[in-house]
Chains A and B, each alone.
Chain A
Amino acid sequence: MNVTEQTLEVWGGRLSVRVKTAGSGPPLLYFHQSAGLAIDPFVSHLAEKYTVYAPELPGTSAGDPYAIHAVDELSDLVLVYEEVARKLDISSAVLAGQSFGGMLACELAAAYPSLATKLVLLAPLGLWREDLPVTSWMTEAPEKLPGLFFHDPAGPIAQAALKLPEEPAQMVAAIAQRVWNNGCAGKFIWPIPDRGLRGRLHRITAPALVVWGKDDRIAPAGYAGEFSTLLSGSKVALVDECGHLPQVEKYKETAAAVDEFLA
């Protein structure tokens, strides 16, 4: 998979947003999870039929950590991403996102309903129910995280996804970047990942697919129905034996559901 990278000046010149691009076809904007952007097999799969544009959340681009300080509010971040879309000459696209990125895809589609042709939401954040608290993974012990994110934390898929570089300096850099990336996302979801999306979801007019792992221990699968109810014309795909990262832990099933929806 050939991945190119471009840097877009937005926000009145105060922000440089890095966008990774892969594939060809109609445009698809992909919003990554809080840990940062990974061009994983799922993104590569999307790139087989789409031109995937994956902007990096300000602050999460290597070498530019303090860009996060240029964006104060979630509403500003939505404007930043709309500027990114315009700079890419995208007037409408499939919006896809995972977890925190799923929430951003919803926010963007709610603010600019005509921008989204379809929405692919993989375990999106953004809603809160007292009876279904979202796990505060950023304050959990590191050794507990695999079990929170994966149905099968000991399995080869989880182990490969969690693998860190062995060279010490690279390992430090990788951990620090991942932690900082979460900190950047935290600006928009801390301490509760609810900034009022519930009241805005009705503005979304594009059809949506909501994919959720049945064993999601970060955001319980009960939220799938919640999104489905609030997004008219949406479909839900629940994935068996799957945690919070369906595109990683159950790539084939997730890709199949997404392919069917986008066909």
Chain B
Amino acid sequence: MRITAFAQAPYRFMPDDFEQHHNSVCDTPYSLANRDGVYASIKDFMDELLHAARAGLDGITLTEHGQSSYDMMPNPDLVASALAYATELEGLDVAIYPMGRSLGKTREPIRVAEEYAMLDVISGGRLVAGIPVGLGYDAAINNGVPPIQIRTRFDENLELVLRAWRDQEPFAFNGRHSQYPMVNLWPRPLQDNVPVFITGIGNPRTMQLTLERGFGFNYFSFGGANLTARRIFPRYWEIADSLGVPRNPFRVGFLQTIGVAATDAEAERIYAGPAEYAFRKGLGSIPSEKLLIPGGLDIRGLQALLSDPADFGMTAQMKNATFKELSDAGAVIVGSPATVRDRLTEFCKEHGIGNLHAMLSFGNLSRQDAFANIEMFASEVAPALRGLWDGSGFAHHWWPERLGGQPQAHTPAAERVTP
């Protein structure tokens, strides 16, 4: 089991009633922020990720969201590069793992390929490349991409990025969405086979893509894993079975918000407030119409979602979620080391998860409490999980070789039919 530290960069000093008056994306008034608050929010966020590397976790993961107050991260590669260099200086063998640059959003796919190549070089071959389609508001509003082209851009850009890393000779690229007379990256990634993870929310088509092509699959539990996991993971593994793909747990990544303290009661005292802050002022304040922009979701996916929105768990109730509701839904796991250990072990075993992305700083959790959470998780929870798949016979093909993985070449795309 590989265990990374995941973090987003929320503005940590929002007014208590923020969610009653504002959205957390696109039109959030910048007058709510001040210079010191912005500086501290980003500084603490980066310090916490570096602290997690020092504490012995296996990787540093982060996401991309533009014009967003719950994750002030217009380009995660900027932060990832700073941390790649810092960890290289300190000799910390952790994966540098943006989850990452949205290929449905970007109008500069070669720039993404170049940034990832740079990250792999700066980190000495420790890049894990997360490649998401991206959220509707981020691609369509923040970057002006027609929603109906988000998926077709993603598909095209993904092939371009992989080819730009792989091909030895310069090539011309004549795409529907971008054209380049000559693609010839300097530098290329150090790794011959950069591990690639694609983030999914439940769409069988995305699951199938990752399985057919040999990419890893990341799933985020923000909507409450107790509500969603028994839908998502069996679906994924059934598709794997139907394709004849082995149930290797290392191809799956799972993101979970976690708070650990000496006792269950102490943990609730520390983490309940920041958890409510995180979900109410973050995900809970993204209006659905900014996520489900017409054209952004395939008509069949839309029919499925309207008929049965349960893949999204309690997302629609997040704006007023209480800690108890978040905890019951599994959106957060908070408790003593034993409580958290047991819950995570059972969960990862049940669903065949070989990569855990632990969100250990969230909402307005103070820097000191985040550091303490990271330390206690790294020393008292992570060690018990690491060996979960020892003896399973599976190798980790989605992890850098320098960090003990055995990455493999991706399966080339067959003739893909649009859509």
Give the residue of B26, B146, B290, B302 whose beta carbon is less than 8 angstroms from that of A186: B146
Q: In whole angstroms, what is the CA distance A210 to B294 when docked?
A: 28
From residue 147 to 178 of chain A, which have CB atoms closer than 8 A to chain B? 168-169, 172-173, 175-177
Known: A66-B419, A68-B148, A175-B306. A183 touches B289 (CB 8 A): no
Please, how many residues of chain B have a CB less than 8 angstroms from a CB on the other chain?
Answer: 29
| Residues of the B chain whose Cβ atoms lie less than 8 Å from the Cβ of A183 | 147-148, 293-296
Q: Is B168 an interface residue (CB 8 A)?
A: no
In the complex, the answer to whether B147 meets A190 with C-beta atoms within 8 Å is yes
Q: Is B383 an interface residue (CB 8 A)?
A: no
Q: Is A256 an interface residue (CB 8 A)?
A: no
Q: Is B144 an interface residue (CB 8 A)?
A: yes
Distance in angstroms from A42 CB to nearest chain B CB is 24
Q: In whole angstroms, what is the CA distance A4 to B107 when docked?
A: 43
| Residues of the B chain whose Cβ atoms lie less than 8 Å from the Cβ of A130 | none
Q: In whole angstroms, what is the CA distance A175 to B145 when docked?
A: 23
Q: In whole angstroms, what is the CA distance A179 to B294 when docked?
A: 5
Give the residue of B147, B176, B289, B295 whose beta carbon is less than 8 angstroms from that of A141: B289
Q: In whole angstroms, what is the CA distance A84 to B267 when docked?
A: 67
Main secondary structure on A side of the interface with B:
helix
Flag B296-335 by CB within 8 Å of A: 1 or 0 each. Answer: 1011101100110000000000000000000000000000
A177 nearest in chain B by CB position: B299
Q: In whole angstroms, what is the CA distance A183 to B294 when docked?
A: 4
Q: Is A65 an interface residue (CB 8 A)?
A: yes
Q: Is B140 an interface residue (CB 8 A)?
A: yes
B303 nearest in chain A by CB position: A176
In the complex, the answer to whether A187 meets B148 with C-beta atoms within 8 Å is yes
Distance in angstroms from A253 CB to nearest chain B CB is 30
In the complex, the answer to whether A187 meets B149 with C-beta atoms within 8 Å is yes
Q: Is A125 an interface residue (CB 8 A)?
A: no
Q: Is A180 an interface residue (CB 8 A)?
A: yes
Can you pick out 20 interface pairs between chain A and chain B where the beta carbons lie within 8 Å of each other? Answer: A66-B418, A69-B152, A69-B419, A139-B141, A141-B287, A141-B289, A172-B303, A176-B303, A176-B306, A177-B299, A181-B294, A182-B295, A183-B148, A183-B296, A186-B293, A186-B295, A187-B146, A187-B148, A187-B295, A190-B146
Residues of chain A having any CB pair with chain B under 8 Å: 65-66, 68-69, 72, 138-142, 168-169, 172-173, 175-177, 179-184, 186-187, 190-192
| Complex A-B, nearest 6 residue pairs according to Cβ-Cβ distance, in ascending order | A183-B295, A182-B294, A183-B294, A190-B146, A180-B299, A191-B144
Q: A139-B141, A183-B296, A190-B295 given; name 18 further pairs at CB < 8 Å.
A: A138-B293, A139-B137, A168-B307, A172-B303, A172-B306, A176-B302, A179-B294, A179-B299, A179-B302, A180-B302, A182-B294, A183-B148, A183-B294, A186-B295, A187-B149, A190-B144, A191-B141, A191-B144
